[in-house]
Amino acid sequence: MAEALEQAGADGDVLVIESSSERLEKLRLACSAANVFFLLGTPDVLPLPDCSVDLVLGDAMPAEAERVSCQR
């Protein structure tokens, strides 16, 4: 999370996507940064418009993550 916040910068937002509601809640409770948002789901189906996020982090880059990323 710290790396993502650093890469996003002061004006950027970080979106955390997790398929487990229990894990998502633990992550939410562990992070107090105002620019971090949490979404229950999977990176294969993102309810976001095309080119709507500045940065997508992760080992695997599904087509859906590439679709929403402005870094193409």
What per-residue confidence (pLDDT) applies to 50? 94
| % of the chain exceeding 90 in pLDDT | 15
What's the pTM?
Answer: 0.73
| % of the chain exceeding 70 in pLDDT | 90
Mean pLDDT (the chain) is 84
Tell me if 31 sits within 8 A of 53, measured CB to CB.
no
Give the H or E element holding residue 39: strand 36-40
- pLDDT digits over 34-48, tens only? 888 888 888 888 888
Q: How confident is the model at residue 56 (pLDDT cuts 50, 70, 90)?
A: confident
